[in-house]
């Protein structure tokens, strides 16, 4: 068996439970984090180290006092939007953290990678045993930052829409983000209590003042986009 790892596992659904079993069977330390309202089925003999937090509150994550440089984060929430939100949050709080996330589609994989995930596991192509191998191999988490962001001059940014911008009242599918050099990762919706909406071709969300766009683009394209919003 390889060197023992410290792993923080977000999510304890049917997949998370199986992953937990495999990791523990190989001697790794696993701390499980779930949302306040998440249903958790814990077997009587599992002896699971589990903590409930509000995953959308940065202070709750910081209060866990995790040594982010020496653990592996694994995002295995049931909802892809929650995994995306966690990746964005964890990379914001801990820029050099090793963050692995589940995906259930090519679109989700692309956006999780743009959000900063070190590795993305497509659940249609991987088993939990294969994921254990990914988790327990030496990870080079800084490589993603260097290759994807620095070398390509990319930047991730949250932009809150003000009143009377050219985007207000428009639907996402009407807006040619790609022509502006912008990749829209997600929207944080004010009217839905600041719920994060994972954007893909199936969701045509109407934009309002107060919504927050999570985008990835080159720095010069972000500057042009911000100028358009303030015009």
Q: Say if residue 139's pLDDT is above 50.
A: no
Could you state, in order of their start, the residue ranges of all structural domains in the chain?
6-150, 154-230
Residue scoring higher pLDDT (115 or 140): 115
Looking at residue 14, what is its pLDDT? 75
Which whole-number Å values give the CA distances from 63 to 66, 74, 93, 118, in the listed order? 8, 18, 12, 23
Detail the DSSP E strand segments found in 56-110.
72-75, 98-103
| pLDDT bucket at 43, cuts 50 / 70 / 90 | low
Give the rounded percent of residues in the chain with a pLDDT score beyond 90. 27
Which whole-number Å values give the CA distances from 134 to 76, 147, 157, 167, 221, in the listed order? 14, 20, 29, 41, 35
Looking at residue 144, what is its pLDDT? 40
Work out the average pLDDT over 185-202.
66
- Report the C-alpha dihedral over residues 90, 71, 61, 183, rounded to 10 degrees: 10
Work out the average pLDDT over 213-226.
87
Looking at residue 193, what is its pLDDT? 60
Q: Say if residue 125's pLDDT is above 60.
A: no
Looking at residue 4, what is its pLDDT? 82
| pLDDT bucket at 147, cuts 50 / 70 / 90 | very low
Write down the CATH number for the domain with range 154-230: 3.30.70.1450
| pLDDT bucket at 190, cuts 50 / 70 / 90 | low
SS3 188: strand
Q: Say if residue 214's pLDDT is above 60.
A: yes
Q: Report the top-level CATH class of 6-150.
A: alpha beta
Looking at residue 99, what is its pLDDT? 95
Looking at residue 194, what is its pLDDT? 58
Residue scoring higher pLDDT (170 or 190): 170
Q: What is the CA radius of gyration of the chain?
A: 19
pTM assigned to the model: 0.60
Work out the average pLDDT over 123-134.
50
User: For residues 65 and 82, what is the distance between their CA atoms, to the nearest angstrom?
Assistant: 21
């Amino acid at each position: 068996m390889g060197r023992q790892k410290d792993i923080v596992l977000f999510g304890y659904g049917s997949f998370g439970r199986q992953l937990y079993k495999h990791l523990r069977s190989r001697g790794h330390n696993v701390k499980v984090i779930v949302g306040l309202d998440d249903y958790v089925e814990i077997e009587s003999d599992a002896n699971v180290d589990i903590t409930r937090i509000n995953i959308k509150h940065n202070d709750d994550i910081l209060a866990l006092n995790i040594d982010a440089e020496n653990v592996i984060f694994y995002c295995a929430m049931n909802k892809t939007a929650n995994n995306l939100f966690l990746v964005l949050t964890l990379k914001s709080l801990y820029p050099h953290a090793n963050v692995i996330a589940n995906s259930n589609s090519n679109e989700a994989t692309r956006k999780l990678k743009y959000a900063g995930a070190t590795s993305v596991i497509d659940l249609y192509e991987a088993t939990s045993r294969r994921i254990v191998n990914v988790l327990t191999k030496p990870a080079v988490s800084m490589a993603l930052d260097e290759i994807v962001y620095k070398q390509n001059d990319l930047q991730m940014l949250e932009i809150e829409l003000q009143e009377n911008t050219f985007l207000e009242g428009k639907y996402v599918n009407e807006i040619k983000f790609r022509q502006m050099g912008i990749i829209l990762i997600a929207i944080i919706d004010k009217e839905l209590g600041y719920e994060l909406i994972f954007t893909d071709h199936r969701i045509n969300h109407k934009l309002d003042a107060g919504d927050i766009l999570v985008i990835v683009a080159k720095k010069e394209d972000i500057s042009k986009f911000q100028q358009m919003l303030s015009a």
